[in-house]
Copies of this chain bind each other. A is one copy, B any other.
């Protein structure tokens, strides 16, 4: 179970880093820029969470996240033309990572003694804030604010975790249920193009 979580976490880190490196490549960043944006995407959410919880950022105690991002950069540079064809693979890794990051954020916040509503916010932030940081660094409007269900899947996962805890489901089972809830919500949302309503600018109504 432990080592399975670790493998999924690495896959998620890898997929998040790839998504950052791809954004960087669309702006013709150099290798260093790609590495930094990839890293920010992969570890940004968890870092903001840890700083808010008053703890040392998680990546400062284990260099595996740095190595994993370097590996993602190498993979990107080497695979080149074959890259776009693998987009379903990246989507799958990304979704698994999203689910696990959310759970990690939930658990770390609960262990720090905060109530569930804070944990749900932190779970969402762990999963989704890296993507916001990525878009800020490449000077684009954050994608997750106007496209599909992404962060909402994290929040729903947090609610599922909460309900499971309330009704006394064992932790190991709660983790598994939450994991699948996030994954299924995200996949269904993409498959059926489910999205939230869009805000309309009130000034536009006047015209």
Contact = CB atoms under 8 A, between A and B. Distances in A.
A113 B196 CA distance: 46
A91 interface: no
Nearest to A202: B83
Nearest to A138: B141
A139 to B, nearest CB: 5
Interface residues of A, number: 61
Contacts of A132: 137
Given A30-B198, A152-B32, A63 B117 contact: yes
Interface in A172-207: 195-203, 205-206
B117 A30 contact: no
Contacts of A137: 132, 136, 142, 145
A43 B132 CA distance: 17
A82 B142 CA distance: 28
Contact of A51 (B29, B52, B196): B52
A171 interface: no
B140 A30 contact: no
A206 B31 contact: no
